[in-house]
Protein backbone atom coordinates (compact mmCIF):
# COMPACT_ATOMS: atom_id res chain seq x y z
CA UNK A 1 0.00 0.00 0.00
CA UNK A 2 1.20 3.51 -0.81
CA UNK A 3 2.54 5.21 2.34
CA UNK A 4 1.02 8.59 1.52
CA UNK A 5 0.68 9.58 5.17
CA UNK A 6 4.25 8.85 6.29
CA UNK A 7 5.25 11.15 9.14
CA UNK A 8 1.71 12.37 9.88
CA UNK A 9 0.30 12.19 13.41
CA UNK A 10 -3.49 12.13 13.40
CA UNK A 11 -5.87 12.23 16.35
CA UNK A 12 -8.95 10.07 15.71
CA UNK A 13 -11.81 10.45 18.20
CA UNK A 14 -14.12 7.55 19.05
CA UNK A 15 -11.47 5.30 17.60
CA UNK A 16 -12.42 2.12 19.43
CA UNK A 17 -15.79 2.08 17.58
CA UNK A 18 -16.61 0.64 14.16
CA UNK A 19 -15.69 3.43 11.74
CA UNK A 20 -13.02 4.92 14.02
CA UNK A 21 -11.12 1.65 14.32
CA UNK A 22 -11.21 1.16 10.54
CA UNK A 23 -9.89 4.72 10.09
CA UNK A 24 -7.01 4.08 12.50
CA UNK A 25 -6.05 0.86 10.72
CA UNK A 26 -6.11 2.51 7.32
CA UNK A 27 -4.13 5.57 8.43
CA UNK A 28 -1.50 3.32 10.01
CA UNK A 29 -1.30 1.19 6.85
CA UNK A 30 -0.60 4.37 4.88
CA UNK A 31 2.22 5.35 7.24
CA UNK A 32 0.54 7.69 9.76
CA UNK A 33 0.92 7.50 13.55
CA UNK A 34 -2.61 7.60 14.93
CA UNK A 35 -3.61 8.84 18.35
CA UNK A 36 -6.43 6.50 19.29
CA UNK A 37 -9.00 8.28 21.43
CA UNK A 38 -11.54 6.21 23.36
CA UNK A 39 -14.32 7.03 25.78
CA UNK A 40 -14.86 3.80 27.72
CA UNK A 41 -13.45 0.89 25.74
CA UNK A 42 -9.85 0.81 26.94
CA UNK A 43 -9.41 -2.85 26.01
CA UNK A 44 -10.68 -2.14 22.49
CA UNK A 45 -8.26 0.78 22.12
CA UNK A 46 -5.34 -1.33 23.37
CA UNK A 47 -6.23 -4.15 21.00
CA UNK A 48 -6.39 -1.66 18.12
CA UNK A 49 -2.97 -0.23 19.03
CA UNK A 50 -1.60 -3.77 19.04
CA UNK A 51 -3.17 -4.43 15.60
CA UNK A 52 -1.24 -1.47 14.15
CA UNK A 53 2.00 -2.76 15.66
CA UNK A 54 2.07 -0.27 18.53
CA UNK A 55 2.92 2.62 16.19
CA UNK A 56 0.67 5.19 17.82
CA UNK A 57 -0.82 6.19 21.15
CA UNK A 58 -4.06 5.75 23.05
CA UNK A 59 -5.83 8.49 25.03
CA UNK A 60 -9.02 8.44 27.10
CA UNK A 61 -11.44 11.37 27.32
CA UNK A 62 -15.14 11.73 28.01
CA UNK A 63 -16.54 14.04 25.35
CA UNK A 64 -19.82 14.36 27.24
CA UNK A 65 -17.93 16.44 29.81
CA UNK A 66 -17.53 20.16 29.15
CA UNK A 67 -13.73 20.01 29.47
CA UNK A 68 -13.31 16.61 27.79
CA UNK A 69 -12.26 17.80 24.34
CA UNK A 70 -9.81 20.38 25.69
CA UNK A 71 -8.20 17.76 27.94
CA UNK A 72 -7.99 15.39 24.99
CA UNK A 73 -6.21 17.93 22.80
CA UNK A 74 -3.74 18.80 25.58
CA UNK A 75 -3.04 15.09 26.05
CA UNK A 76 -2.50 14.59 22.32
CA UNK A 77 0.01 17.45 22.08
CA UNK A 78 1.78 16.27 25.24
CA UNK A 79 2.24 12.84 23.67
CA UNK A 80 3.07 13.73 20.09
CA UNK A 81 4.27 17.38 20.31
CA UNK A 82 3.20 17.98 16.69
CA UNK A 83 -0.23 16.83 15.49
CA UNK A 84 -0.90 17.05 11.73
CA UNK A 85 -4.51 15.96 11.51
CA UNK A 86 -7.74 15.68 13.49
CA UNK A 87 -10.58 13.30 12.64
CA UNK A 88 -13.73 14.11 14.60
CA UNK A 89 -15.40 10.71 14.44
CA UNK A 90 -16.90 10.20 17.93
CA UNK A 91 -20.66 10.41 17.89
CA UNK A 92 -23.90 9.10 19.32
CA UNK A 93 -27.40 8.69 17.92
CA UNK A 94 -30.15 8.97 20.49
CA UNK A 95 -33.79 8.08 19.99
CA UNK A 96 -36.17 10.59 21.54
CA UNK A 97 -39.73 11.17 20.40
CA UNK A 98 -41.80 14.33 20.56
CA UNK A 99 -43.91 12.48 23.16
CA UNK A 100 -40.95 12.38 25.57
CA UNK A 101 -41.13 14.38 28.79
CA UNK A 102 -39.66 17.89 28.67
CA UNK A 103 -36.75 16.75 30.82
CA UNK A 104 -35.94 13.71 28.64
CA UNK A 105 -36.31 15.77 25.45
CA UNK A 106 -33.93 18.50 26.64
CA UNK A 107 -31.45 15.98 28.05
CA UNK A 108 -31.32 14.09 24.74
CA UNK A 109 -30.76 17.26 22.69
CA UNK A 110 -28.11 18.58 25.07
CA UNK A 111 -26.16 15.33 25.27
CA UNK A 112 -26.29 14.79 21.52
CA UNK A 113 -25.04 18.33 20.84
CA UNK A 114 -22.35 18.05 23.51
CA UNK A 115 -20.82 14.86 22.09
CA UNK A 116 -21.49 15.21 18.35
CA UNK A 117 -20.94 18.93 17.98
CA UNK A 118 -19.56 20.89 20.96
CA UNK A 119 -16.80 18.33 21.58
CA UNK A 120 -15.86 18.45 17.90
CA UNK A 121 -16.00 22.26 17.82
CA UNK A 122 -13.74 22.50 20.87
CA UNK A 123 -11.24 20.15 19.25
CA UNK A 124 -11.37 22.16 16.02
CA UNK A 125 -10.62 25.35 17.95
CA UNK A 126 -7.54 23.83 19.61
CA UNK A 127 -6.41 22.11 16.40
CA UNK A 128 -6.63 25.31 14.35
CA UNK A 129 -4.49 27.18 16.90
CA UNK A 130 -1.92 24.36 16.91
CA UNK A 131 -1.93 23.90 13.13
CA UNK A 132 -1.48 27.52 12.23
CA UNK A 133 1.38 27.90 14.70
CA UNK A 134 3.10 24.80 13.30
CA UNK A 135 2.89 24.98 9.53
CA UNK A 136 -0.64 23.76 8.88
CA UNK A 137 -2.88 20.77 9.36
CA UNK A 138 -6.06 19.10 8.30
CA UNK A 139 -9.44 18.46 9.89
CA UNK A 140 -11.88 15.74 8.82
CA UNK A 141 -15.32 15.87 10.40
CA UNK A 142 -17.46 12.74 10.17
CA UNK A 143 -20.93 14.13 9.59
CA UNK A 144 -23.86 12.19 8.12
CA UNK A 145 -26.41 12.12 5.33
CA UNK A 146 -28.83 12.88 8.17
CA UNK A 147 -27.32 16.36 8.43
CA UNK A 148 -27.95 17.05 4.76
CA UNK A 149 -31.43 15.74 4.08
CA UNK A 150 -33.04 15.89 7.53
CA UNK A 151 -33.68 12.90 9.74
CA UNK A 152 -36.21 10.55 11.32
CA UNK A 153 -38.91 11.76 13.72
CA UNK A 154 -37.54 9.62 16.54
CA UNK A 155 -33.94 10.88 16.32
CA UNK A 156 -34.10 14.52 15.25
CA UNK A 157 -31.19 15.74 17.41
CA UNK A 158 -28.78 13.53 15.45
CA UNK A 159 -29.45 15.20 12.10
CA UNK A 160 -29.24 18.66 13.64
CA UNK A 161 -25.84 18.00 15.22
CA UNK A 162 -24.47 16.70 11.93
CA UNK A 163 -25.80 19.68 9.98
CA UNK A 164 -24.02 21.94 12.46
CA UNK A 165 -20.82 19.96 11.95
CA UNK A 166 -21.01 20.38 8.17
CA UNK A 167 -21.52 24.11 8.62
CA UNK A 168 -18.57 24.38 11.03
CA UNK A 169 -16.40 22.55 8.50
CA UNK A 170 -17.28 25.09 5.83
CA UNK A 171 -16.54 28.02 8.14
CA UNK A 172 -13.13 26.59 8.98
CA UNK A 173 -12.38 25.97 5.30
CA UNK A 174 -13.29 29.54 4.38
CA UNK A 175 -11.58 31.16 7.35
CA UNK A 176 -8.34 29.28 7.85
CA UNK A 177 -7.49 27.74 4.48
CA UNK A 178 -5.15 30.67 3.84
CA UNK A 179 -3.15 29.68 6.92
CA UNK A 180 -2.66 26.08 5.83
CA UNK A 181 -5.57 24.68 7.84
CA UNK A 182 -8.02 22.78 5.65
CA UNK A 183 -11.24 21.02 6.62
CA UNK A 184 -13.46 18.44 4.94
CA UNK A 185 -16.71 16.81 6.03
CA UNK A 186 -17.57 13.22 5.17
CA UNK A 187 -21.28 12.43 5.14
CA UNK A 188 -22.05 8.70 5.18
CA UNK A 189 -25.49 7.21 4.91
CA UNK A 190 -25.79 3.93 6.79
CA UNK A 191 -22.47 2.27 7.56
CA UNK A 192 -22.49 -1.31 8.83
CA UNK A 193 -21.36 -0.76 12.45
CA UNK A 194 -22.89 -1.18 15.90
CA UNK A 195 -24.78 2.10 15.39
CA UNK A 196 -26.39 0.58 12.30
CA UNK A 197 -26.91 -2.82 13.98
CA UNK A 198 -28.98 -1.09 16.69
CA UNK A 199 -31.21 0.37 13.98
CA UNK A 200 -31.42 -2.97 12.13
CA UNK A 201 -32.35 -4.75 15.37
CA UNK A 202 -35.21 -2.29 15.90
CA UNK A 203 -36.44 -1.79 12.33
CA UNK A 204 -34.91 -4.54 10.13
CA UNK A 205 -32.27 -4.38 7.36
CA UNK A 206 -34.86 -3.85 4.65
CA UNK A 207 -35.85 -0.55 6.28
CA UNK A 208 -32.22 0.55 6.45
CA UNK A 209 -31.42 -0.15 2.79
CA UNK A 210 -34.86 0.60 1.29
CA UNK A 211 -33.83 3.96 -0.12
CA UNK A 212 -30.24 3.06 -1.07
CA UNK A 213 -30.07 2.42 -4.83
CA UNK A 214 -27.09 0.05 -4.52
CA UNK A 215 -29.03 -1.93 -1.87
CA UNK A 216 -26.15 -2.06 0.62
CA UNK A 217 -24.83 -0.08 3.52
CA UNK A 218 -21.28 1.26 3.24
CA UNK A 219 -18.53 -0.65 5.02
CA UNK A 220 -16.34 1.04 7.64
CA UNK A 221 -13.32 0.37 5.42
CA UNK A 222 -14.86 2.40 2.57
CA UNK A 223 -15.15 5.41 4.86
CA UNK A 224 -11.66 4.80 6.26
CA UNK A 225 -10.13 4.69 2.78
CA UNK A 226 -11.71 8.05 1.99
CA UNK A 227 -10.49 9.62 5.24
CA UNK A 228 -6.93 8.53 4.44
CA UNK A 229 -7.26 9.98 0.94
CA UNK A 230 -8.52 13.31 2.26
CA UNK A 231 -5.59 13.50 4.67
CA UNK A 232 -2.99 13.13 1.91
CA UNK A 233 -0.86 16.28 1.75
CA UNK A 234 -1.61 16.40 -1.99
CA UNK A 235 -5.36 16.89 -1.37
CA UNK A 236 -5.47 20.53 -0.20
CA UNK A 237 -8.04 21.58 -2.82
CA UNK A 238 -10.72 19.40 -1.24
CA UNK A 239 -10.87 22.13 1.42
CA UNK A 240 -14.51 22.83 2.35
CA UNK A 241 -15.98 19.80 0.57
CA UNK A 242 -18.71 17.58 1.97
CA UNK A 243 -18.10 14.10 0.57
CA UNK A 244 -21.20 11.90 0.30
CA UNK A 245 -20.82 8.17 1.00
CA UNK A 246 -24.40 7.01 0.70
CA UNK A 247 -24.83 4.66 -2.25
CA UNK A 248 -26.85 7.25 -4.14
CA UNK A 249 -29.52 7.58 -1.44
CA UNK A 250 -29.06 11.34 -1.31
CA UNK A 251 -27.76 13.09 -4.40
CA UNK A 252 -27.27 16.83 -4.14
P1 LIG B 1 -19.80 3.61 17.12
O2 LIG B 1 -20.88 3.70 18.12
O3 LIG B 1 -19.21 2.29 16.78
O4 LIG B 1 -18.62 4.59 17.48
C5 LIG B 1 -18.83 5.84 18.07
C6 LIG B 1 -17.61 6.19 18.88
O7 LIG B 1 -17.88 7.41 19.59
C8 LIG B 1 -17.28 5.13 19.92
O9 LIG B 1 -15.90 4.82 19.85
C10 LIG B 1 -17.60 5.79 21.23
O11 LIG B 1 -16.75 5.41 22.27
C12 LIG B 1 -17.40 7.26 20.90
N13 LIG B 1 -18.13 8.06 21.87
C14 LIG B 1 -19.47 8.10 22.07
N15 LIG B 1 -19.74 8.85 23.15
C16 LIG B 1 -18.55 9.28 23.64
C17 LIG B 1 -18.18 10.08 24.76
N18 LIG B 1 -19.08 10.58 25.62
N19 LIG B 1 -16.87 10.32 24.98
C20 LIG B 1 -15.95 9.80 24.15
N21 LIG B 1 -16.22 9.02 23.08
C22 LIG B 1 -17.53 8.78 22.84
O23 LIG B 1 -20.39 4.31 15.82
P24 LIG B 1 -19.83 4.41 14.34
O25 LIG B 1 -20.89 3.88 13.47
O26 LIG B 1 -18.45 3.89 14.22
O27 LIG B 1 -19.85 6.00 14.16
C28 LIG B 1 -18.70 6.80 14.00
C29 LIG B 1 -19.12 8.14 13.46
O30 LIG B 1 -19.73 7.97 12.18
C31 LIG B 1 -20.17 8.87 14.32
O32 LIG B 1 -19.88 10.23 14.36
C33 LIG B 1 -21.46 8.62 13.57
O34 LIG B 1 -22.41 9.60 13.82
C35 LIG B 1 -20.97 8.64 12.15
N36 LIG B 1 -21.87 7.97 11.21
C37 LIG B 1 -22.19 6.66 11.37
C38 LIG B 1 -23.07 6.06 10.48
C39 LIG B 1 -23.46 4.62 10.61
O40 LIG B 1 -24.39 4.21 9.92
N41 LIG B 1 -22.82 3.82 11.43
C42 LIG B 1 -23.60 6.80 9.43
C43 LIG B 1 -23.23 8.15 9.29
C44 LIG B 1 -22.36 8.71 10.19
Q: Which atom of ligand 1 is nearest to the CA of 64?
A: 18
How many angstroms is it from 91 CA to the middle of ligand 1? Answer: 4
Q: How many residues does the chain have?
A: 252
pLDDT of res. 190: 93
Distance from residue 96's CA to the centre of ligand 1 (Å): 18
Q: What is the pLDDT of residue 203?
A: 87
Q: What is the pLDDT of residue 199?
A: 82
Q: Each residue's pLDDT tens digit in the chain (252 positions)? A: 889 999 999 999 999 989 999 999 999 999 999 999 999 999 999 999 999 999 999 999 999 999 999 999 999 999 999 999 999 999 999 999 999 999 999 999 999 999 999 999 999 999 999 999 999 999 999 999 999 999 999 999 999 999 999 999 999 999 999 999 999 999 999 999 987 888 889 889 898 899 999 999 999 999 999 999 999 999 999 999 999 999 999 999
Cβ neighbourhood burial of 165 (10 Å; 0-12, 13-18, 19+): buried
Give the atom of ligand 1 at the shortest distance from the alpha carbon of 218: 40
Distance 29 CA to ligand 1 centre (A): 22
Centre of ligand 1 from the C-alpha of residue 131, in Å:
25
Cα(95) to centroid(ligand 1), Å: 15
Mutate to test the pocket of ligand 1, among 90, 118, 199 (most ligand atoms within 8 A of CB): 90
* Cα distance between residue 9 and residue 187, in whole Å: 23
Distance between CA 87 and CA 120 in Å, rounded?
A: 9
Domains observed in the chain? 9-245 (3.40.50.720)
Predicted local distance difference test score (pLDDT) of residue 195: 77
Kindly give the interhelix angle for 18-29 and 220-231, rounded to the nearest 10 degrees. 50
Ligand 1 midpoint to CA 178 (Å): 31
Sequence-separated (6 or more) residues with CB below 8 Å from residue 133: none
For the chain, helix (H) and strand (E) counts, in that order, are 10, 7
Closest CA to 173 of 164, 188, 161, 185: 185
Mutating to test ligand 1, I would choose from 19, 112, 201 the residue with most ligand atoms within 8 A of its C-beta, which is: 19
| C-alpha to C-alpha distances, 31 to 16, 86, 223, 227, nearest whole angstrom | 19, 16, 18, 14
Q: Where are the alpha helices (DSSP H) in 33-153?
A: 42-51, 68-80, 102-113, 119-133, 146-149
CB contact at 8 A, 108 and 33: no
Ligand 1 atom at shortest distance from the alpha carbon of 40: 11
CA 208–ligand 1 middle distance (angstroms) = 17
Ligand 1 shell residues, CB under 6 Å: 14, 16-20, 38-39, 41, 62-64, 89-92, 115, 142, 144, 188, 190-191, 193-196
Amino acid sequence: MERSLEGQTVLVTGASGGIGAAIVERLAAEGARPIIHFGRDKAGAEALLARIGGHGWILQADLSAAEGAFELWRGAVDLARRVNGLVNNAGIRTEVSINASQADWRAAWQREFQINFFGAADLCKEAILHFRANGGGRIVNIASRAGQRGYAADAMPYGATKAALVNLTKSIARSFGGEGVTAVAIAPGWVRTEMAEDFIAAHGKAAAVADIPIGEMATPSEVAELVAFVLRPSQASLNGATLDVNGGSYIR
